[in-house]
Structure 1
Amino acid sequence: MRWDPGLYGRHAGHRGRPFLDLLARVGHEAPRSVVDLGCGSGELTEVLARRWPTAQVVGIDSSAEMVGAARRRTALPNLRFQLGDLRNYEPGADDVLVTNAALQWVPGHQGLLARWAAALPVGGWLALQVPGNFSAPSHALLRSHAGSGQWASRLRGVLRHDDAVGEPIDYLGILLAAGLEADVWETTYEQVLPGEDAVLDWVRGAALRSVLDALSEDEAAEFEAGYGALLREAYPRGEHGTVFGFRRIFAVGHRTG
């Protein structure tokens, strides 16, 4: 899937807040090795490098566009970025593993998470955040529109949002089964988005990417027109902007010694 760092970053403030809330629950004082799996364009990985300036921090992402943007934007001496598939990552002596808004793109990621948790060294921390809004109108309407009329055959199999993530209790079970102390919670951010077609602009940065990749330019414009009309009805613009509920699921595990 092709990613657009500029488009994704248009709502950087809103998208970054869950990462900061996640990081606040990670209690390591002086890690030596910190890895950000699915680092995107690197702004948030830079937060890790600044928090722990004596650590070697690595951001890994499967998008060449995102990794390229990350490498261009920062030159911190303890931070580097590399292209890689997080499904193939084998943790070693990493003190902190972070994966933020990435695992929902990986089918069967619960098994991957269990493997990372089992490999966590004594004193290590594992922190993840995934979206929990796949039943929200933004995503439900995307699935229903993609499955209707002319789009049904063109987009069959493109969206898998029904089973993209588990519930908080699922992640709690994985961390506890690996022998970790676990802190699992969820938050819904009621965000006020500015501008016309605010929710459509939001989903263009992430959830809509796979659909746009599967269509021609003209088809994508036609699909967006129909989907945008549905979103305007579901998320009416008010005096102060468009309110968009943004539910997120968080889990932090720690292996005590």
Structure 2
Amino acid sequence: MIDRYDWPGGTEAMLRFGPATGPVVVLALPPFEEANRTRTLMVSVLRRLAEVGIGGVLPDLPGQGESLVATEDATLTDWRAAFAACVATLPHPRFAASIRAGALIDGEADVQARWSLSPQTGAELLRELHRTARSAGTPEGAGASREAQSTSAHDRIPAQVGIQGQAEQRLSKQRNPGLLPAQEHGDAGAAIEIAGNRIGTHLLDALAGADIGRPDRIVRLESDARAADRRLPYSPPWRRAEPEADPALAQALAADIADWVGTWRAA
């Protein structure tokens, strides 16, 4: 079912699954291209949770999905505020689930506990964006950002380097915090384009120091050697060329979330 929720900056859509009462899992997708690659899979997960009596919600966030907010106007602060506002409209008990950089978004929500698949810090997301910009192969000079020409002197990126060059230069600066503005909105209006997404430089600056907090349960895939509560033997869906439902992975994730919710409810 398509529903809507209000947050301080406006109104956004959300998908709802399963019963209207009882436990509900609110999902935070990763932003940008990884949202496209994981949405089908995670909708399948929420549908499986609905089959066992657990409600699910997938909210659009400002500048993402079907939001009327321009992608380049999205901020990390607004994402977190919108997600928290969406959660606040739902009955208890409430649980947050995230995938990859979605773990940067759900930390301010009033939930009983947080579950995360392969959580990704802001710095790790920036490295992914940098690799994407390098591999995009955008022709030099094509569609250079008008806003990038008007940034302050220490952040100005010449238009003639093209979209790919702008992205690489700006993202390279994230590796040296001394080159970044102190505040998230320091360069309001500036944007660069990475793989078809116009991303505000204020958002890139905010991501540089953004962390995931402390999820209560972390699930990773076997290719990821970092600490986890459980590992699953599947390939990363965010690396695939096309979105896939992957029924086996969806079932494994849904079963893990359902067991985890049940454990928290019994505690």
Common fold: TM-score over 0.5? no
TM-score under structure 2 length normalisation? 0.34
TM-score under structure 1 length normalisation? 0.35
